[in-house]
Chains A and B, each alone.
Chain A
Amino acid sequence: MNSIQPKSKFQNTKQAIIIFLILFIPFTIKSLEPGLEIYPAIIFPTGASTLNVQNEFRTFEKYELFALKDSLVALNSQILLKNIPSQYFHSIIKGNFGLEPYQNFFQFPFSSWKIIEGNDLNQEKKKATKSWLRTNLNEAGYSDSIFVLRKIQIKYNLYQKQIASDTIIYEKTYYLN
């Protein structure tokens, strides 16, 4: 208890200001531009978007992977990205699985300062990544030549409690040879 007794004038006010700055600066930056989230900082996941529940259909999107066995078959992301926890799947898609250059710009709030995010890809790194992906596919019995990423829009029928339609809205083939 003694520790919070003021040692100097306005000790508690100073302490409050420091706590406020440490907590709120990273949170404010993240709220204004999620791409500029600071780590480490005390921030919890938000996930504030909403789903339209106007009629009997619920529409949402998901990514799926496919690879060759005899034909193109579904591939679990945990097989392709061996050891990498599944929560990173979407961010790895954003970075093109490390197979293509990726660059993005963020505007720093209230300034003209731009910050670049990128994967600094060169031939050597690309080769190593292809080799790693090929090994992962091979070990699971898939052909190691290609894999396919699809973004699928799903319409779920509430009354029938089943998927009414699934439409491919994006497809990309990654060549590993």
Chain B
Amino acid sequence: MKKLIILIEAFFRGFFLRITKITAINEKHLSFYRVFFGIVTLVYFRPKFSWISSVPDSLFLPKPFNIANLFGGFPPPIYFEITDYLIIIFLVATIIGFCSRVALLGLFLLTIINNGFGYSLGKIDHYIFESIIFLVFAFTNSSAYYSIRPDKKIKVHSKTLMLFGISVIFGYFTAGLQKAYHWIDFDLTTSGFLRWVYDLYFPATQKPLLAEFFLSANPFLTEIIDYSGVLFELSGILFLLYSKLSWRIYLIFASFFHLANALILNIPFTIHFLIFGIWLLSSFLFKYKKATFLFGLAYFFKGIYIDVYLWILSISMTLVGIFDRNR
């Protein structure tokens, strides 16, 4: 029995060491990426909650295990006005590197709680990484450089990135497991992918850009899409364990997956490009700092075109980065 426990311990030691090595990011690169992340979040993805202030109390219908149940109802409207301003202040503090760690923890708490109020309308959206990424920056040494007042270095930098890597693949795993049960049916008369297309295409006022091409798609093609989606969502652990390059390849697959969702279903999940960017973009942008300005061009696009542009730009930079032999 003792031998078995020692073996298990050795297995997990190797497991965590390997993932830690594969998810490792240079502290300087991550610090520069923190500044980039803060600016992009402030400009394009600033979490806003003041819309909740006008929602009547009778629509407060949180799921039983939503954190908002602790409050028993929506807070007064002024709360959301104040927290929207606090979010701006915390994001600016993150960008300039002034008490960044405190600001990032504040951003995590505010977005977790306020999203809980938003989800009290009866539906939990799954933008959890929009909050967790603040926690990741807070518990790494992302504010040790490029800061007006650098934060003290902490020992959990590598561990945080390792845990975040595991969280990312687990997130996709949760999406893929039930799909595997229903979609891998070797039956050309059903399609999971087309369920999404039809459910989202007809009610939409702004039709997804490429959805029309798939309304009458060949059943073989839609079956392949079903299986590919499931395979992608369930296979993250293999890519995470194999090598640094395979981990990046998985995140590139994930980026293409989200780009396709933006074009076909109008579901962009664009905030995820910033999450993948920790591994895909941080070193590239550190080396080619001027390239960050290309993200500013998204400002001239509207609606879904912003998301499409950001995904394409992120994928392109990643590919250039991977093939850049001078790195």
Interface residues of A, Cβ cutoff 8 Å to B: 1-4, 6, 9-10, 12-13, 15-16, 19, 23, 27, 29-31, 35-54, 58, 60, 62-63, 76, 82-85, 87-88, 90-92, 94-95, 97-99, 102, 106, 115-121, 125-126, 128-129, 132, 154, 156, 158, 161
* CB <8 Å contact, B64 and A84: no
Please state if B67 and A39 are interface contacts (CB–CB under 8 Å).
Answer: yes
- Choose one: A19, A53, A84; the contact of B219 (CB below 8 Å): A53
Docked-complex contact B59 and A129, CB < 8 angstroms: yes
Q: Are B181 and A95 in contact (CB under 8 A)?
A: no
Tell me whether A27 and B174 are in contact (CB under 8 A): yes
Contact indicator B158/A3 (Cβ below 8 Å): yes
Q: At the interface with chain A, which of B144-152, B159-167, B244-252, B288-296?
A: B159-167
Known: A50-B190, A60-B198. A125 touches B174 (CB 8 A): no
Which B residues are in CB contact (< 8 Å) with A91? Answer: 61, 121-123
Partner of A128, one of B56, B156, B182, B199: B56
**Interface contact A1-B122, CB-CB below 8 Å:** no
Tell me the minimal C-beta distance from B309 to chain A in angstroms.
Answer: 22
Which of A35, A52, A106 is close to B190, meaning CB atoms less than 8 Å apart? A52
B312 within 8 A of partner (CB)? no
Find chain B residues with CB under 8 A from A129 CB.
56-59
Structural contact, B51 and A83, CB atoms closer than 8 A: yes
Say whether B155 contacts A48, CB under 8 Å: no
A143 to chain B, nearest CB (A): 20
Q: Write the nearest CB–CB distance from B266 to chain A, whole angstroms.
A: 10
In the complex, the answer to whether B202 meets A154 with C-beta atoms within 8 Å is yes
User: Which 9 residue pairs spanning A and B have beta carbons closest together?
Assistant: A91-B122, A98-B58, A44-B175, A12-B12, A91-B123, A51-B195, A48-B178, A83-B51, A50-B190
Q: How far is the CA of A37 from the CA of B62 in the complex (A)?
A: 10
Query: Nearest-CB distance from A30 to chain B (Å)?
Result: 8
- Among residues of A, the one whose C-beta sits closest to the C-beta of B116 is A39
Is A48 in contact with B179, judged by CB distance below 8 angstroms?
Answer: yes
Contact B64 A76 (CB under 8 A): no
Please determine whether A45 and B126 come into contact, CB atoms closer than 8 angstroms. Answer: yes
What's the dominant secondary structure at chain B's contact region? helix
User: In this complex, what residue of A is CB-closest to B122?
Assistant: A91
The answer to whether B191 touches A51 (Cβ under 8 A) is: yes
Complex CA distance for A92 and B128, rounded to whole angstroms: 22
* Residue B124 lies at the interface, judged by CB distance under 8 Å to chain A: yes
State which of B63, B196, B222 has its C-beta within 8 Å of the C-beta of A47. Answer: B196
Q: List the interface of chain B (C-beta within 8 A of A).
A: 5, 8-9, 12-13, 15-17, 20-21, 24, 51, 54-61, 63-67, 112, 115-116, 118-119, 121-126, 128, 131-132, 155-159, 162-163, 166-167, 170-172, 174-175, 177-179, 181-183, 185, 188-192, 194-196, 198-199, 202-203, 205, 215-216, 219, 222
Across the interface, do A31 and B177 meet the contact criterion of CB distance under 8 Å?
Answer: yes
* Cβ contacts A to B, 30 pairs, < 8 Å: A3-B155, A4-B158, A6-B13, A12-B15, A15-B16, A36-B63, A40-B67, A41-B128, A42-B128, A43-B128, A46-B174, A46-B179, A48-B183, A50-B185, A50-B191, A50-B195, A51-B191, A51-B192, A82-B54, A84-B121, A87-B123, A88-B123, A91-B121, A95-B58, A119-B59, A128-B57, A128-B58, A129-B59, A132-B54, A161-B215
- B6 → chain A closest CB, angstroms: 9
Contacts of B188 in A (CB 8 A): 53
Contact B122 A156 (CB under 8 A): no
In the complex where A49-B182, A53-B222, A161-B215 touch, is A40 in contact with B61 (Cβ < 8 A)? no
Are B175 and A46 within 8 A (Cβ)? Answer: yes
What's the Cα separation between A142 and B138 when bound, in Å? Answer: 49
User: What chain B residues lie within 8 Å of A128 (beta carbons)?
Assistant: 56-58
Bound-state CA distance A115–B64 (Å) is 7
Which of B122, B157, B163 is A88 in contact with, Cβ under 8 Å? B122
Which of A37, A51, A95 gathers the greatest number of chain B CB atoms within 10 Å? Answer: A51
Closest CB in chain B relative to A55 CB, distance in Å: 9
B58, B60, B162, B198 interface centre (most CB from chain A within 10 Å):
B58
Contact between B63 and A4, CB atoms less than 8 A apart: no
Q: Which residue of B is nearest A44, CB measured?
A: B175
**B171: chain A residues within 8 A (beta carbon):** 42-44
Say how far B193's CB is from chain A's closest CB, in angstroms.
9
CA distance A81 to B175 in the complex (A): 29
B153 CB to closest chain A CB (Å) equals: 12
Chain B residues with CB below 8 A from A27, complex form = 170, 174
Minimum CB–CB distance from B84 to chain A (whole Å) comes to 13
B8 vs chain A, min Cβ distance (A): 6
> Which of B56, B116, B157 contacts A125, CB < 8 Å?
B56
Residue of B nearest to A10 (CB): B9
